[in-house]
């Protein structure tokens, strides 16, 4: 069981007029974590990421990704902190042409061990995003290859369980 633990910094502007991180902005934080995980950069080596081979993404890539679906539960309001929040990410499913990225947002400061389950307090947020892998040239969904499936295998865990459905 290998979850990525990606630190994401809040911006003060993520707050809305109620003084908490706005529910829509929470999905922005997840987007940032997902981009970190999928899109390896030489200049960002320190960040926890899935193997580059996992998806040859980026502007010059032959594959693109589309967000097809999102589901999110807000368990506790998220206040402004200067310390980054920690987004735990794993793959809940690798299907024919799509994969489900699962997330939990936790508040513990960085320096926390980066693997293994999280003990203690419940997360602020639980969410999942279904990503469709497409052929960059045609824009059509394409099958995930056996090689990709193998590379992703260590990151697959049971999908996030939502309380309200």
CB of 119 to a copy of itself, least distance (A): 21
Give the shortest CB-86-to-a copy of itself separation in angstroms. Answer: 14
Query: Could you tell me which residues come within 8 angstroms of residue 64 by beta carbon, excluding any fewer than 6 positions away?
Result: 57, 133, 134, 135, 136, 139
- DSSP tag of 25: H
Residue 44 CB, nearest approach to a copy of itself (Å): 4
Q: Which lies closer to a copy of itself via its Cβ, residue 117 or residue 139?
A: 139
Residues that bind a copy of itself (CB under 8 A): 9, 11-13, 15-17, 19, 22-24, 27-28, 31-32, 35-36, 41, 43-44, 47, 66-74, 80-83, 109, 130, 162, 164
Give the separation between CA 130 and CA 95, rounded to whole angstroms: 10
Calculate ∠ Cα 84-99-101, nearest 5°.
20
In DSSP notation, 30-90 reads HHHHHHHHHS--GGGTTS----GGG---STT-SEEEEEEEEEEEE-S-----SSPEEEEEE
- Closer CB to a copy of itself, residue 1 or residue 162? 162
Q: Which is nearer to a copy of itself, 17 or 119 (CB)?
A: 17
CB-nearer residue toward a copy of itself: 120 or 164: 164
Shortest distance, position 67 Cβ to a copy of itself, whole Å = 4
């Amino acid at each position: 069981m290998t979850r990525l633990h990606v630190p994401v910094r809040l911006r003060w502007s993520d707050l809305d007029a109620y003084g908490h991180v706005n529910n829509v902005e929470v999905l922005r934080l997840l987007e940032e974590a997902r981009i970190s995980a999928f899109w390896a950069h030489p200049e960002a080596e320190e960040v926890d990421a899935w193997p580059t081979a996992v998806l040859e993404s980026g502007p010059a890539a032959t594959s693109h990704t589309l967000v097809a679906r999102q589901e999110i539960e807000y368990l506790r309001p998220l206040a402004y902190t200067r310390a980054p929040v920690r987004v735990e990410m794993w793959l809940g499913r690798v299907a024919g042409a799509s994969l489900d990225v699962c997330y939990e947002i936790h508040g513990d400061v960085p320096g926390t061990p980066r693997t293994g389950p999280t003990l203690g307090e419940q997360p602020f947020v639980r969410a999942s995003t279904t990503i469709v892998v497409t052929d960059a040239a045609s824009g059509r969904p394409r099958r995930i290859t056996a090689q990709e499936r193998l590379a992703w295998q260590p990151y697959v865990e049971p999908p996030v369980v939502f309380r309200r459905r």
